[in-house]
Each structure stands twice: as C-alpha cells, then as structure tokens.
Amino acid sequence: LPLKERLTAYVVEGTKDGLIPDLEEALAKVDDPLEIINGPLMTGMDEVGRLFNDNQLIVAEVLQSAEVMKASVAHLEPHMEKSSADRKGKVVLATVKGDVHDIGKNLVEIILSNNGYEVVNLGIKVPPADLIEACRREKPDVVGLSGLLVKSAQQMVLTAQDMKEAELDLPIMVGGAALTRKFTENRIAPQYDGPVLFAKDAMNGLELTNRLRN
C-alpha cells in the first residue's frame, strides 16, 4: 500500500505494528504534522465511524483505533510548530457531561498550548458545576467545550444555561462532530450572555481563541 493508505489502515485496523516508522516517513514529507492528522489519520477515523455505524466494528475495536490515533498524535506532537509567544491567555477545556470522546479536545489542547496558551484540561464527562467551579478558580479567558454525541450538543445548551445562571459571561468556544454553526448560533448562544463561537476543527479553534482574546 502507498504510505497514506497504510497510515489510514493502522487506524481502521487498530494496529500499531509498523506505525512509528511510517509516521517518520510521513513526517519527512510534510511541512506540518497536522497534515498527517487531518489527512490519512482522520480518514481512518471517519471510516471507523462508518464501519461502527454499520455494525461492522464493536466498541472494543473502535477503542483500539482510538489508541492508534492517540499514539500517533503523541508521536507527532513534538514535531508540531511552536510559537515562542509569551503566555497569550488561559483556556479551560472540557468534554461535556455524558461524553467520553477526547481525541479532538486533546488536539485542541496541543494546538493551543503550542501557540502560547495556558490550557487547563478538565477531561471528559465534565458536569456544568465542575466547569463553573473551574472558571471561578482558574479565571480563564475562554472556555472550550467539546462533544461528539448528538446528546452532547443538547448538553452544551444546558451547560451554557448553568453558566449564565452562575453569572459567567466569558467567551465559550464549542466544537465536535455532532455540532453545527447553526445549532451554536440558534440554540446555544441565545441561552448565554457572553459570546458563543463554533470551531469546525482544532486549527479554527486556535484562530477563534486568538480573535476572542483581542
């Protein structure tokens, strides 16, 4: 198989045999390691999602694919561009209550911290009360919420309501597969006093954070 297809296959098959040498080969060919993540590795994850949806994969297999994705990101991370910018601001990140998906959120953490942000990553299944407590404790410039399940989009509405009730109005950035800009603008933003922005991917998340800070 050509290199790109091999990289996709590691994720789909959930195997790491040969992964690292192939990642090294790919690194030598790209300007930015994100091209490898957003390209062949993401293609693999989308295929895993499709196969899982068709009942051709079980959760345990999807978990192995997730492990390959995480190992790849960990291997590529030191090669990613880092800005020497001073601390630009602080971001609190969380996957919302009820949701365990964290690969996208952790990618956002890597990209923000490589670009001068201090990131407080609260992890997965974070209830609104924990998020509110972290906002009071950490005083971030932006709160980032991730969620991949359809029910997580609804959970973001509830989280925004709770944050408003707690009299918070710092900017919220939301992202994740089940979310759209339209849902963000029509359903989440009206429930909150501060700005609520939709990030389509991790790089867009950095752009939005840079803009929110200014």
Please give the size of the binding site for ligand B1M, defined by CB under 6 A.
Answer: 38
Query: What is the CA angle 90-93-96, rounded to 5?
Result: 155
Task: Show the binding pattern over residues 37-76: x = contacts ligand B1M (CB under 6 A), - = does not.
Answer: --------xx-xx--xx-----x--xx-xx--x-------
Residue 49 annotated as lining a ligand binding site: no
CA atoms within 13 A on the CB side of 147: 26
Annotate 125-166 with DSSP letters as a single string: SB-HHHHHHHHHHH--SEEEEE--SHHHHHHHHHHHHHHHHT
Q: Is residue 141 at the binding interface for ligand B1M, with CB under 6 A as the rule?
A: no
Active site residue 152: yes
Distances (CA, A) of 141 to 73, 106, 170: 26, 18, 7
Binding-site member from 27, 80, 103, 135 for ligand B1M (CB under 6 A): 103
Q: Is 194 annotated as a binding residue?
A: no
Q: Does 175 bind ligand B1M (CB under 6 A)?
A: yes
- Distance separating the N- and C-terminal Cα atoms of the chain: 47
| Structural contact between residues 8 and 43, judged by C-beta atoms closer than 8 angstroms | yes
Bridge pairing between strands 89-95 and 142-146: parallel
174 is in an annotated binding site: no
Residue 65 annotated in active site: no
* Known active-site residue 99: yes
Cα–Cα distance for residue pair 153/132, rounded to 1 Å: 18
Q: Residue 100 annotated as binding?
A: yes
Considering the complex, what minimum distance in angstroms separates the CB of residue 47 from ligand B1M?
8
Report whether 98 belongs to an annotated binding site: yes
Say whether 102 counts as a known binding-site residue: yes
What single-letter amino acid sits at 123?
Answer: G
| Of 14-22, 132-140, 147-155, 187-195: span binding ligand B1M (CB under 6 A) | 147-155
Interface stretch with ligand B1M, choices 12-20, 77-85, 139-147, 182-190 (CB under 6 A): 139-147
CB-CB contact of 203 with 34 (8 Å): yes
Among 36, 99, 188, 212, binds ligand B1M (CB under 6 A): 99
Alpha carbons 91 and 2: distance in angstroms, whole number: 39
Binding residues for methylcob(III)alamin: 98-102, 146, 202
Positions that interact with ligand B1M (CB under 6 A): 45-46, 48-49, 52-53, 59, 62-63, 65-66, 69, 93, 98-105, 107-108, 144-146, 148-150, 173, 175-178, 199, 201-202, 205
Residues marked active site are found at: 99, 101, 152
